[in-house]
């Protein structure tokens, strides 16, 4: 071998040793091994298959968690029993929308709308209970309601009747009655805090969904029309509205209605959902099926919440209260055997009382006395006339208020919030939006309905003292009584 070749060979050996040294330093012995195996079968791109052995035995046997295994099986059994009764509801319609063009001209146009919710079959004939707000806001005659059953079948549905106050609607689908699987109503008076419940529905339009939780609270009041609700931590989301809340027997104990959410633009479940008790739903269902409308009890009084009970502000003429001998300033302590503590509670008790029933009412009038009132049926026309009179009075007074939010009530605030002051009204120079009104004429105010009724009753006969909070300071103003309307002279024929 020539000197030149020996020198070249020596340099190659030195280079190889240096290269292997670098690989060894960077990757250790495994790096050198991978280098020599590179390009061999089964090691494409330098990858070598890994050995693996998976376990073939569970950590626990069913007998080790016997109670949980039985509970798991029973959850599945309950789900299989109730889901065939739950339906998805899709609505399409148009709503009237006012629009103003560039020149200030007004017109009405029909805007297509779509809605989605849940419901539950409650009769062999195909009657379905859902929420009023699921089918609300549609122009009569132009709505289209489609119901999809558990097995995928679709039916057109007709609206039998609804109750906007309770937020309940009754639909009807036609078909072979034997193919419907209705769900039984349970007794909501037997519901207790802490008991297990299941919510079934169609959240976000995803399809049939069941969630599990407990009853967190009963008799939860959110507003004048949302009283006596069940609160649950079973997950309820948009689209669950109208679906059933069931107990361990698979009975309907409530109709899921709304959720509490701090995000009003994108509401979602935060552990607080509400359902309408089944007994209230059932009474409205029977009224709608038998009379075509909801039927509610009527007593005929205006009231305000007092320290010991509910104080009568005004007895309306011709009503059951007047016939029973109730007077203004009577304090109602007990209604039909139930202690009365708030106006909303008493309104709910009266409305749920069967029309024609004679009810004992215990009042304080310098001493306790009991009066018997025969509950009449609420007349929507009289109520509408009363509201018109109230609105005329409020127009002159000029104070518009709103109920406090659930967050404000949770922080301990009570009263109503001023939302608007009408220009040129009696209140214009005295109050302003954002004021927190807590009382009228020393009587506490709990909600907007109570405020309006008390102001309308007071302002027509006397000055009205409004107690409110502004900038964390308690204040009060006095509104003069409204001028009485002059009666028109009788015309001679």
Q: Is the pLDDT of residue 381 over 80?
A: no
Q: pLDDT per residue over 70-86, tens digit each?
A: 888 898 999 999 999 99
Q: How far apart are CA 457 and CA 35, in angstroms?
A: 96
pLDDT at 251: 94
The stretch 196-216 carries a mean pLDDT of 88
Q: What string of H, E and C letters represents the secondary structure of 297-352? A: EECCEEEEECCCCEEEEEECCCCHHHHHCCCCCCEEEEECCEECCCHHHHHHHHHH
Q: pLDDT per residue over 422-465, tens digit each?
A: 888 888 899 999 999 998 887 778 778 778 877 777 776 778 88
Tell me which of 162, 163, 167, 403 is the catalytic residue. 167
Check residues 490 and 205 and name the one with the higher pLDDT: 205
Q: Is the pLDDT of residue 252 over 90?
A: yes
Structure tokens at 311: 């104080």
Q: How far apart are CA 339 and CA 336, in angstroms?
A: 9
Domains 76-295 and 381-479 agree in fold:
no
DSSP state of 483: P
Q: Is the pLDDT of residue 299 over 80?
A: yes
pLDDT at 422: 87
pLDDT at 423: 85
Structure tokens at 450: 């109570």
The stretch 151-163 carries a mean pLDDT of 89
Structure tokens at 74: 């029973």
Please, where are the H alpha helices in 44-117?
66-82
Check residues 133 and 43 and name the one with the higher pLDDT: 133
- Which residue, 226, 439, 169, is CA-closest to 347? 226
Inter-residue contact 355 to 348 (CB < 8 Å): no
pLDDT at 86: 93
Long-range contacts of residues 255-262, Cβ cutoff 8 Å, at least 24 apart: 255/120, 255/129, 255/130, 255/131, 255/168, 255/281, 256/118, 256/199, 256/201, 257/131, 257/167, 257/226, 257/229, 258/222, 258/226, 260/406, 262/407
Percent of the chain predicted with pLDDT > 90: 29
Query: In degrees to the nearest 10, what's the CA dihedral of 217, 219, 225, 226?
Result: 10
pLDDT at 491: 38
Element (H, E) at 445: none
| Band of residue 492 on the pLDDT scale cut at 50, 70, 90 | very low
pLDDT at 292: 84
| Number of CB atoms found within 10 A of residue 213's CB | 17
The stretch 109-115 carries a mean pLDDT of 69
Q: Is the pLDDT of residue 41 over 60?
A: no
The stretch 331-358 carries a mean pLDDT of 87
Name residue 89's beta-bridge partners. Answer: 117, 147
Distances (CA, A) of 90 to 94, 118, 146, 202: 14, 9, 5, 11
Contacts of 439 (CB under 8 A, 6+ apart): 415, 445, 466, 467
DSSP state of 223: S
Check residues 31 and 233 and name the one with the higher pLDDT: 233
Q: Is the pLDDT of residue 240 over 80?
A: yes
Q: How far apart are CA 387 and CA 172, in angstroms?
A: 33
Q: Is the pLDDT of residue 281 over 90?
A: yes
Q: Is the pLDDT of residue 38 over 60?
A: no
The stretch 222-241 carries a mean pLDDT of 79
| Band of residue 387 on the pLDDT scale cut at 50, 70, 90 | low
Q: Is the pLDDT of residue 37 over 50?
A: yes
Q: Is the pLDDT of residue 133 over 80?
A: yes
Percent of the chain predicted with pLDDT > 70: 78
Average pLDDT, rounded, for the chain: 81
Check residues 245 and 24 and name the one with the higher pLDDT: 245
Query: In degrees to the nearest 10, what's the CA dihedral of 344, 349, 354, 355?
Result: -50
Fold classification of 297-377 is: Pdz3 Domain (2.30.42)
Contacts of 70 (CB under 8 A, 6+ apart): none
CATH number for 76-295 (one of 1.10.3720.10, 3.20.20.70, 2.40.10.120, 2.40.50.140): it is 2.40.10.120
Q: Which of 31-35, 388-392, 474-478 has the lowest mean pLDDT?
A: 31-35
- Which residue, 461, 480, 325, 482, is CA-closest to 391? 482
Q: Is residue 368 packed enough to be buried (19+ CB in 10 Å), middle (13-18) or exposed (0-12)?
A: exposed
The stretch 33-39 carries a mean pLDDT of 55
pLDDT at 25: 66
pLDDT at 385: 63
Tell me which of 93, 133, 313, 458 is the catalytic residue. 133
Q: How far apart are CA 235 and CA 213, in angstroms?
A: 7
Question: Any catalytic annotation for residue 167?
Answer: yes
pLDDT at 8: 72
| Band of residue 488 on the pLDDT scale cut at 50, 70, 90 | very low
Q: Which SS3 state, helix, strand or coil, does residue 238 take?
A: coil
The stretch 373-383 carries a mean pLDDT of 78
Q: pLDDT per residue over 314-344, tens digit each?
A: 788 788 998 999 988 899 999 999 898 888 7
Q: Is the pLDDT of residue 46 over 70?
A: no
The stretch 126-138 carries a mean pLDDT of 85
Q: Is the pLDDT of residue 221 over 80?
A: no
Q: Where are the domains of the chain?
A: 76-295, 297-377, 381-479
- Which residue, 166, 184, 451, 113, is CA-closest to 288? 166
The architecture CATH gives domain 381-479: Roll (2.30)
Question: Any catalytic annotation for residue 329?
Answer: no
| Band of residue 26 on the pLDDT scale cut at 50, 70, 90 | low
Tell me which of 88, 118, 216, 241 is the catalytic residue. 241
Q: Is the pLDDT of residue 278 over 70?
A: yes
pLDDT at 224: 52
In degrees rounded to 5, what are phi and psi of residue 302? -105, 140
Q: Is the pLDDT of residue 386 over 60?
A: yes
């Amino acid at each position: 071998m020539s000197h030149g070749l020996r020198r070249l060979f020596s340099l190659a050996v030195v280079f190889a040793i240096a290269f292997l040294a670098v690989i060894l330093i960077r990757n250790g012995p495994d790096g050198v091994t991978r280098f020599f195996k590179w390009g061999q079968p089964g090691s494409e791109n330098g990858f070598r298959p890994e050995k693996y052995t998976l376990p073939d035995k569970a950590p626990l046997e069913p007998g080790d968690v016997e109670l949980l295994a039985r509970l798991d099986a029973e959850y599945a059994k309950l789900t299989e029993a109730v889901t065939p009764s739950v339906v998805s509801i899709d609505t399409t319609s148009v709503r009237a929308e006012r629009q103003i063009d560039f020149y200030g001209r007004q017109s009405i146009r029909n805007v297509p709308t779509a809605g989605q919710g849940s419901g539950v079959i409650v009769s062999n004939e195909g009657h379905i209970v859902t929420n009023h707000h699921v089918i609300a806001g549609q122009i009569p005659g132009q709505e289209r309601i489609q119901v999809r059953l558990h097995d995928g079948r679709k039916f057109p549905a007709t609206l039998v009747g609804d109750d906007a106050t309770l937020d309940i609607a009754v639909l009807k689908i036609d078909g072979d009655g034997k193919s419907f699987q209705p769900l039984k109503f349970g007794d909501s008076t037997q519901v207790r805090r802490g008991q297990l419940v299941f919510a079934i529905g169609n959240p976000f339009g995803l399809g049939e969904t069941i969630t599990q939780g407990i009853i967190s609270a009963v008799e939860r009041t959110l507003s004048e029309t949302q009283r006596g609700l069940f609160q649950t931590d079973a997950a309820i989301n948009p689209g669950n509205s109208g679906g059933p809340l069931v107990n361990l027997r698979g009975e309907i104990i409530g109709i899921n209605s709304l959720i509490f959410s701090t995000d009003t633009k994108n509401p979602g479940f935060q552990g607080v959902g509400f359902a309408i008790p089944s007994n209230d739903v059932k009474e409205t269902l029977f009224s709608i099926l038998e009379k075509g409308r909801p039927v509610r009890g009527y007593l005929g009084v205006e009231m305000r919440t007092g320290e010991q009970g509910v104080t009568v502000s005004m007895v309306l003429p011709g009503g059951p209260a007047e016939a029973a001998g109730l007077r203004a300033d009577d304090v109602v302590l007990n209604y039909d055997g139930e202690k009365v503590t708030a106006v909303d509670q008493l309104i709910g008790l009266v409305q749920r009382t069967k029309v024609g029933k004679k009810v004992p009412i215990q009042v304080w009038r310098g001493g306790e006395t009991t009066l018997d009132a025969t509950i009449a049926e609420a007349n929507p026309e009289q109520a509408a006339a009363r509201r018109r009179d109230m609105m005329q009075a409020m127009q002159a007074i000029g104070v518009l208020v709103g109920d406090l939010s659930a967050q404000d009530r949770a922080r301990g605030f009570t009263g109503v919030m001023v939302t608007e002051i009408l220009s040129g009204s009696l209140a214009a120079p005295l109050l302003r939006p954002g004021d927190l009104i807590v009382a009228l004429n020393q009587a506490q105010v709990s909600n907007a309905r109570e405020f309006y009724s008390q102001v309308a009753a007071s302002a027509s006969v006397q000055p009205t003292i409004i107690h409110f909070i502004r900038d964390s300071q308690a204040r009060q103003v006095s509104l003069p009584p409204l001028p009485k309307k002059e009666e028109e002279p009788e015309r001679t024929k």
